[in-house]
Amino acid sequence: MSGSRHAELGRFIDRSQPRSFTFDGQRIAGFAGDTLASALLANGVHILGRSFKYHRPRGLWGMGADEPNAIFDVRLGQEHRPNQRATTTLLEDAMVVTSVNANPNAAKDRFRLMDRLHRFLPAGFYYKTFMALDWIRYEPMIRRMAGLGRVDPGYAPPADVPHLVAVCDLLIVGAGPSGLAAAHAAAQSGRAVWLVDDAAQLGGSLHRRGGQIDGADWTAFADATRYAVLNAGGRILCNTTVWGAFDHNVFSAWVRRLDGPDQHMRIRAAEVVVATGAIERPLWFANNDLPGVMSCEAALEFLQCYGALPGQRILIATANDASYTVASALAKAGAEVTLVDQRHDAPDADDITQIKSGILTAAKGKTHVQSAVVNGQDIPCDAIFCSGGYTPTVHLWCQSGGKLDWDADQDALVPRPGTSSLKPIGAAAGQFGLKAALATGHALFGNGNGPETDAVTPRAQAPVRPDPNLPGRQWIDMQNDVTLKDVGLAAREGFTSVEHLKRYTTLGMATDQGRTSNFAGLAAMAAVTGRTIPETGTTTYRPPFEPVPLSVIAGRRRGDLFNPLKRLSLEAAHCDMGARFREYGGWLRPAVYGVGAEADLAQKEAKIARDIAGIFDASPLGKLEVIGTGAGKLLDFTGYMRMSTLKPGRARYGFMLAESGIVYDDGVVLRLDENRFIVSASSSHVDGVRARLEDARQDRIGHRHVYIHDVTQGLVTLTVTGPKTLDVIAGAGIDLPDLPHMGVVETPLDGHFLRVARISFTGDRSYELTVPGRNAEGLRARLDASLKNAGGKWIGLEAVMILRAEKGFILIGKDTDGNTMPHDLGWVGPMNKRDDEYLGKRALFTPEGQSETRRQWVGLRVTGDAVPETGSHLIPTDGPRRSLGFITSSYFSPNLGRPIALALLENGRALVGTTVGCFNDGSVRNVEVVDACAFDPDWSRLNG
Amino acid sequence: MQHYSAFSLARHALSHHKNWQSAWRKADPKPRYDAVIIGGGGHGLSTAYYLAKNHGMKRVAVLERGWIGGGNTGRNTTAVRSNYFYPESVALYDLSLRLYEGLSKELNYNIMLSQRGMLIAAHTPIQMEICNRIANAMQLNGVDGRLMTAAEAEEKAPLVNKSKGARYKCMGGIWQDRAGTARHDAVAWGYARAASAMGIDIIENCEVTEVFTSSGAVAGVETTRGKIQTERLGVAAAGATPGLVQMVGGDLPIHNYDLQAFVSEPVKPCLDTVLLYLGTGTYVSQSDKGELVIGGGLDRVPTHGQKGNLPTQETVISGLLEMFPAFAQLKLLRQWAGVVDVVPDSSPVIGPVGPEGMFVNCGWGTGGFKAIPAGGYLLAHLLATGEHHDISRPFDLNRFAQGRLIDEAAGSGIAH
Amino acid sequence: MQQFPCPFCGLRNETEFHFAFEAGHPRPEPAKDVSDAEWAKYLYLHKAPKGKSSEIWLHLTCHEYFILHRDTVTREVLSCDVLPGAEA
Amino acid sequence: MDERDWTDRPLAPETPIVLGDLTVTMLPQAGSTYLVSGKMDEVVGAFGLDNGIICLLETQPNAGSFGIRTGRNSALIIYPDAHELVPGWHPAGFAVSAAFETYETILLSGPGSAMALAQGGVADINATSKSAMLRFAGVSVLLTQGENGYLLWVPKAQLTYMTSFLSGRN
């Protein structure tokens, strides 16, 4: 067969703009407006791919999202898309197109012999064999055979897809005749309509079927509708696929744009009209997958819209009147047409060879149709166009919760009224034909008579079903190679539920999402089990309506925009001071300063901080102001340690427990005055602590007597620590009031407040200096100069980690886990003494809370310089190995000159002084259990 | 039971596969059984199988309200693994993995267990320390787990994001060799076929509407297909379990959420392992058919609706592309949601509940598929003996009153 | 994207909310009079109703807890209430 | 270090970003801002606010002090000039905290600003909401209008992220 281009037809193509691309290395010419499918068809290329399992040669079947066979890898410049449907990919110059699942190419695939083995590869054959060895021995071979296109490993998305949120009053999906009529009527009545269609132009089936509306060519009505919609404040969105219906009236739309990256829209629509038309069903006969077998509607589309004539001697097989238009159009275009109609009472076709009561039982040909067998007679032909009726496109209806009814008159599953708020019209509602489409569309929003047409209705048809008794292989799902025999086998083996059928045979699971195969499968299962279609059931429809690029759904959330970090006010200044940043608890913070190995720098910083002085940026520490007459009462309930007894001007360390008794957070609470506290939550727990405080405030304490303000992000806290702390602060010109340990005071500095809290996370004398963000740079600069004079250093979080570990201070979430209770950490006082209620109290007294095998906080001492790995487990020194706990933090201490380690150890405090095993990746060393505090155990440096 | 093999396939090919029998009998309910199992998913079917095989109980019915394997068994990302922290969890999940390892041969049904390994990838030094904690716990509990370096990880998944702008670099993580995937439907069908062959009645389209008790013990159930008497009732109905237990006045520590999964169009092999990124929470593997099978976090709105929602889809898919920028060239083919029954400590509830003779196996949350063999094995033990197996005892409902939760997320520190 | 009504802010996207508890579980007190089982019931046992459900949600932007009545199957939102809470 | 470098930088008042028909400008912080909670009518009176308290998408006054509602009974109070309020509990029934620079203000101007809001995900939010605080691009911000466009009050530590988001960077 050779394809050809009709001299005049082809409303979508622009013959003045030639385009070309390569397909499997062969240069193919086309025009602007062509799809890959139409160009290939016009050039007579008929083997476009190979089937998934049997590697059968395949040509075009359909014209849009229903195409199961023509799937290509398409490259254009930087862009690469595997598994593109030829029917929906617009031809662009210089595209490099290759067939998938074929080697070296579709025409000469070396796996074509697979088809000879088909008898041994029935549906689900893999469940019955490949069991002699482990599956993984067979798997590489299977996996190489499977899959369609190829991922380009070097691919990087050239641009990101923006996500947009939109609201609309009336969304009409589909701009065929029914959608146009609905949009026209709604716009006329003043509604702001969004009219959406996945094609490039309005019109839908009208482009191929044509028609007169209100006495003129339909295009005049389409133009009038466009004008009316825009005039009423609506929008027209072409090249846009509404691919999902979600909760609360949200619809997702994939917008393809010629002048920029695609868009992903989340449209919240008050009212939605489904005008998505219908899809033509195939016919079932032997070799119905042969290249040259095509849908009637597709053949008409290719002829009228692209001028591509897909054959010269054409056999049309049908059982409905709609195909007659196709036959006469093809005949008019110069093809030799034979019309085979299953109906004995078929209408007469003028000027066309017609066979009534004609049953097509087989197609013949090796790689392309050469003849058709009709009523036992061979009829030579180079193309078979067939129609087994129409299936309404009800995806959105069903996604939104709508149910379906079997309509025997229309021979289709149609929307059951009242089961969804969406409004189906036209062919999507089972109302076939132009007249019905216009009428149902208009009736929704218009008064009186709608647009008139001279089109003939209704479209008479006889139901067509697969015939299990027919010899030969009849394809039900073309891409996944499921035949009618496979359906029979599934039924025999008990997979009679439609879902089981799908899963067992993979029917309907291909990239065409079952558009041509789902009804066929249902009808086939009904046929082989002797049930009706409604008895057999329906499958579930879920988004996406058609395959949507992952890049569209992902949008711009990657890189900088993926889980963004909070950033320090002084980030730029830290940068200038040589900071190297890392993520800690949702904030980007200096890990170390300077050039060189990170571990060495941290050691150096930790040493200088102990020997002289260090400053670190502690701004991410939460600052939740709890203000009101109920503040003390609130904090007493939410904290393990009581805070109402705290004196103004003082701070106290405390835990917040979850109701399960687990330590949720730790931190210092400052009391500034009688009614004003500040909770220093861990940087990563600010929101969580706030939520727990609010819960107790609103539900328990009384929301009018205490309020919570989170002012963390507006303030900057610089912590000065080390023996020369006082010198550094004094050298910065800050007049430090005399403060005891855990004292806090606010004093003015540079016209704003400076809050000084003498709190130590290092065990050395330390002051937290907190100022508003606008004063931070001034404070930093003063301190920096003074620090340099004193010989101190800015220290990063890695050094801070070492310093606090030397003292045995915990880090929530690192040194505690989801089982750690306060008494495990040595804080038994409140549990034993508090009579009042507090968060998590009751859980401390469960059998597990009181168990003697709880893991407790201890230190470990090792011999030698090798630091035991964090994450090592502790095990008994003899007897069977079992975990007694694990190391939560370990470092080399530059100040002690030896490794230190902290651990949670079963009954650990009682084991202090004994030896346990330390297990890491199979090797074991002995460690001594010691007190968690390794450095300055008598706390002499706190006031040093 | 007809034996399945390459030879039998060839033999049946000669008769055009016309002589294959139904994989499982389509049974009608009898008035009375020694034990009734509610739920024809993987857990219910494996319970029936092990009741017959391990305990010789064959007068047993599995009641399924729809079609077998149609719930979470057929709505997951098919990963199997035992990379857990607590000894109790490891005992449970590794029992499951060991049973999986022999299952194709045992059931004479290819469940396509593909032990291609799984990596839980870390991105910061602190996460690596926690991975080390888990890897060591696995080793001490006798399971193959180890800490993997960044270089090794890159070898396992060469397409991971290595660009300068990558939000999360793969620094390595926890590796388990024996982890992998299995064909989910085959697990349900294989158990059903083997159980049916031993005489168990698998009754589809049969919904339980009432549970009868008599003097504090189970007496039977009312169903849409009639009344059935039994004194032993096993419930393995995932999200429907709380409703069934409430029929006899009990409550369970369960919330139901949607868990979504996603499948891309099939492509030639491009990922040969199961990979979970701690940073994105997205996990992915490639099926034998070539599709990427993608999962992520829960939709955090309690629901019984089995319907995925957009925000979670966007989060999971953006996570995938952050891990593998090259996958941006692929398309989403299918998406679905399963209603998962989530317990506060994310560990299952296995044990007696309510009247005497009633036992549940539920609360698997996002991890039920990998536990199917063990879940059935242990529930069968309870139903047959009335007593816990040592492995199921820690998972009894009484752990909540004792405060003895088995919280993996908390134990590993990863989700804490 | 579902939308939930905050009694203080109006309809907002589901991503602004956090499910906290099922409604109607008063905290048993004082601790010394509460059995292990009662405490476990309060902390862990739920109804997980299929259909109409009353739940406590937190609106993350304004930090207010409130009661949301919704259907867990259809996901229809029925109404919302201010937390009775302590006024004292 | 093995992790990524963060090379994005926050918007600065002197360098607005122009993206086609959208201009993103950071407004300099002057004056004083406070978080207040409690009896709002008392707050307005006690602090001598020149204007009242505005809600989501309402227009900010172009002179004098005013408030932006942040929740049930809380607001951000803005004085164009230096202004001292006593932090802590006020017996009339409200609480005050200094909140200088807790939020940075970004002006979205030009015809493209509606599209920018749509990208941030707020197009379908009911504009009659009582609170001006909502999630925009995943962050809790205050959203109001000024003479020249929309005003986003962005938490200080998220300014760099918001700059990247609005400038189309990844």
Q: Report domain extents, chain C.
A: 3-82
The answer to whether the CB atoms of A699 and C74 lie below 8 A apart is: no
| Distance in Å, alpha carbon of A659 to nearest chain C alpha carbon | 8
d(C-alpha C52, C-alpha C70), whole Å: 6
d(C-alpha D158, C-alpha C21), whole Å: 30
d(C-alpha D67, C-alpha D83), whole Å: 14
The set of residues, in sequence order, having a beta carbon less than 8 Å from that of A645 and lying 6+ positions away, is none
The answer to whether the CB atoms of D122 and A583 lie below 8 A apart is: no
| pLDDT of D137 strictly over 60 | yes
Residue of C nearest to D128 (CA): C10
> pLDDT category, B412, cuts 50, 70, 90?
low
Q: Give the pLDDT score at D124.
A: 67
The answer to whether the CB atoms of D134 and C16 lie below 8 A apart is: yes
How do residues B143-196 score in pLDDT, each as one tens digit? 999 999 999 999 999 999 998 889 999 999 999 999 999 999 999 999 999 999
The partner residue sitting opposite A837, judged by closest CB among C18, C31, C74, is C31
- Contact of D124 with chain B, judged by CB distance below 8 Å, is answered with no
Topology (CATH level 3) of domain B118-177+255-342: D-Amino Acid Oxidase; Chain A, domain 2 (3.30.9)
- Contact of C26 with chain A, judged by CB distance below 8 Å, is answered with no
Structure tokens at A772: 């508003």
Structure tokens at A804: 């606090």
Output the average pLDDT for chain D: 90
Q: Give the pLDDT score at A349.
A: 87
Name the amino acid, one letter, at D156.
Answer: K
d(C-alpha A343, C-alpha A319), whole Å: 6
- Contact of C83 with chain D, judged by CB distance below 8 Å, is answered with no
**Cα-based distances in Å from A799 to A288, A783, D75:** 73, 19, 40
| pLDDT of B274 strictly over 60 | yes
Q: Are A24 and A79 in contact (CB under 8 A)?
A: no
The answer to whether the CB atoms of C62 and D125 lie below 8 A apart is: no
Mean pLDDT in residue range D34-48: 90
In total, the C-beta contacts within 8 angstroms joining chain B to chain C are 68
Q: Residue A153, Cβ neighbours under 10 Å: how many?
A: 10
Structure tokens at B80: 């199997």
The answer to whether the CB atoms of B165 and D3 lie below 8 A apart is: no
The set of residues, in sequence order, having a beta carbon less than 8 Å from that of B101 and lying 6+ positions away, is B113, B115, B178
d(C-alpha A298, C-alpha B66), whole Å: 38
Q: Does domain D17-28+102-166 have CATH number 3.30.1360.120?
A: yes
CATH no. for residue A650?
3.30.70.1400
| Distance in Å, alpha carbon of D137 to nearest chain B alpha carbon | 12
Q: What are the two backbone dihedrals, phi and then psi, of residue A135, each rounded to the nearest 5 degrees? A: -55, -35
d(C-alpha A694, C-alpha A686), whole Å: 12
Q: Are B143 and B96 in contact (CB under 8 A)?
A: no
In total, the C-beta contacts within 8 angstroms joining chain A to chain C are 61
Chains touching chain B through at least 3 C-beta pairs below 8 angstroms are A, C, D
Domain that holds residue A649: 624-710
| pLDDT of D91 strictly over 80 | yes
The answer to whether the CB atoms of D88 and A676 lie below 8 A apart is: yes
Domain boundaries, chain B: 6-78+184-253+345-412, 118-177+255-342
Chains touching chain D through at least 3 C-beta pairs below 8 angstroms are A, B, C
Q: Give the pLDDT score at C88.
A: 41
Domain membership of residue A114 (yes or no) is no
| Distance in Å, alpha carbon of C9 to nearest chain A alpha carbon | 17
Residues of chain A with pLDDT under 50: 1
Backbone conformation region of residue A300, classed left if phi is above 0, alpha if psi is from -120 to 50, else beta: alpha
Same domain, A314 and A265: no
Bridge partners of B270? Answer: none
- Contact of C37 with chain A, judged by CB distance below 8 Å, is answered with no
The answer to whether the CB atoms of B301 and C19 lie below 8 A apart is: yes
Give the three-state DSSP class for A256: coil
| Distance in Å, alpha carbon of C11 to nearest chain D alpha carbon | 7
The answer to whether the CB atoms of B169 and D170 lie below 8 A apart is: no
Chain D residues whose CB is inside 8 A of the B164 CB are: 4-5
Q: Give the pLDDT score at B35.
A: 98
| pLDDT of D94 strictly over 80 | yes
The partner residue sitting opposite B110, judged by closest CB among A127, A144, A549, is A127
Which string of b and e fits A594-613 if b means at least 16 CB within 10 Å? beeebeebbbbbbbbbbbbb
Bridge partners of A235? Answer: A194
Q: Give the pLDDT score at A526.
A: 93
| The two domains B6-78+184-253+345-412 and B118-177+255-342 share their CATH topology (first three levels equal) | no
The counts of H helices and E strands in chain B are: 12, 19
Torsion, CA A394, CA A395, CA A400, CA A405, rounded to 10:
40
- Report ipTM for this prediction: 0.95
Interface of B with D in 88-147 (CB under 8 A): 123-124
- Between A749 and D21, residue with greater pLDDT: D21
Q: Give the pLDDT score at C84.
A: 83
How do residues B298-337 score in pLDDT, each as one tens digit? 999 999 988 889 999 999 999 999 999 999 999 999 999 9
Tell me if the pTM is above 0.90. Answer: yes
Which of B297, B269, B336, B80 has the alpha carbon at shortest distance from A503? Answer: B336
Which of A688, A222, A751, A675 has the alpha carbon at shortest distance from A441? Answer: A222
Name the amino acid, one letter, at A749.
Answer: L
The answer to whether the CB atoms of C47 and B253 lie below 8 A apart is: no
User: What's the DSSP call for residue A699?
Assistant: I
Domain boundaries, chain D: 17-28+102-166, 32-98
The answer to whether the CB atoms of B150 and D2 lie below 8 A apart is: yes
Query: In chain C, what is the greatest distance between 2 CA atoms, to the nearest angstrom?
Result: 45
The answer to whether the CB atoms of B309 and C14 lie below 8 A apart is: yes
Domain membership of residue A542 (yes or no) is no
Q: Does domain B6-78+184-253+345-412 have CATH number 3.50.50.60?
A: yes
Which string of b and e fits C12-37 if b means at least 16 CB within 10 Å? bbbbbbbbeebeeeeeeeebeebebe
d(C-alpha A416, C-alpha A407), whole Å: 10
d(C-alpha A922, C-alpha B140), whole Å: 9
| pLDDT of B410 strictly over 50 | yes
Chain A residues whose CB is inside 8 A of the B405 CB are: 660, 818-819, 848
Which of A561, A694, A754 should we substitute to test contact with D (largest number of D Cβ atoms within 10 Å)? A561
Same domain, A674 and A694: yes
Same domain, A922 and A775: no
Which of A84, A128, A161, A919 should we substitute to test contact with B (largest number of B Cβ atoms within 10 Å)? A128
Cβ-count burial of A865 within 10 angstroms (0-12 exposed, 13-18 middle, 19+ buried)? exposed
Residue of B nearest to C45 (CA): B253
- Contact of C9 with chain D, judged by CB distance below 8 Å, is answered with yes
Q: What are the two backbone dihedrals, phi and then psi, of residue A601, each rounded to the nearest 5 degrees? A: -65, -40
The partner residue sitting opposite D89, judged by closest CB among A572, A627, A774, is A627
The partner residue sitting opposite C14, judged by closest CB among B239, B301, B307, is B301
Which of D2, D5, D6, D105 should we substitute to test contact with A (largest number of A Cβ atoms within 10 Å)? D6
Which of B126, B169, B323 should we substitute to test contact with D (largest number of D Cβ atoms within 10 Å)? B169
Q: Give the pLDDT score at A4.
A: 84
Q: Are A587 and A567 in contact (CB under 8 A)?
A: yes
Interface of B with C in 202-241 (CB under 8 A): 239
Q: Residue B414, Cβ neighbours under 10 Å: how many?
A: 19
Chains touching chain A through at least 3 C-beta pairs below 8 angstroms are B, C, D
Q: What are the two backbone dihedrals, phi and then psi, of residue A671, each rounded to the nearest 5 degrees? A: -110, 115
Q: Residue B325, Cβ neighbours under 10 Å: how many?
A: 23
d(C-alpha C62, C-alpha C68), whole Å: 16
Q: Residue A316, Cβ neighbours under 10 Å: how many?
A: 27
| Distance in Å, alpha carbon of B219 to nearest chain C alpha carbon | 24
Q: Which residue has the tokens 């006798």?
A: B142
Structural domain count, chain A: 6
How do residues C51-87 score in pLDDT, each as one tens digit? 999 999 999 999 999 999 999 999 999 999 998 865 5
Q: Give the pLDDT score at B415.
A: 37
Chain C residues whose CB is inside 8 A of the A701 CB are: 86
**Cα-based distances in Å from A614 to A175, A562, A577, A794, C68:** 70, 33, 14, 5, 51
Bridge partners of A406? Answer: A413
Q: Is the dihedral of CA A797, A802, A808, A812 positive or negative?
A: positive
The answer to whether the CB atoms of B165 and D2 lie below 8 A apart is: no
Q: Which helix (H) or strand (E) holds A802?
A: helix A797-807
Chain A residues whose CB is inside 8 A of the B320 CB are: 550, 554
- Architecture of the C3-82 domain: 2-Layer Sandwich (3.30)
Q: Give the pLDDT score at D2.
A: 58
Mean pLDDT in residue range B217-236: 97
Q: Are A282 and A516 in contact (CB under 8 A)?
A: yes
The angle subtended at Cα B43 by Cα B41 and Cα B45, nearest 5°, is: 65
The answer to whether the CB atoms of C13 and D121 lie below 8 A apart is: yes
Same domain, A742 and A784: yes
| Distance in Å, alpha carbon of C84 to nearest chain B alpha carbon | 23
Which of A570, A567, A566 has the alpha carbon at shortest distance from A778? Answer: A570
Please compute, for residue A293, the number of CA atoms within 13 A of its CA located in the half-sphere on the CB side: 32
Q: Residue C70, Cβ neighbours under 10 Å: how many?
A: 23
Give the three-state DSSP class for D92: coil
Would you mind telling me the total number of residues written for chain C in this entry?
A: 88
Q: Give the pLDDT score at D126.
A: 63
Cβ-count burial of C63 within 10 angstroms (0-12 exposed, 13-18 middle, 19+ buried)? buried
Q: Which helix (H) or strand (E) holds B47?
A: helix B42-55
The partner residue sitting opposite B165, judged by closest CB among D2, D3, D170, is D170
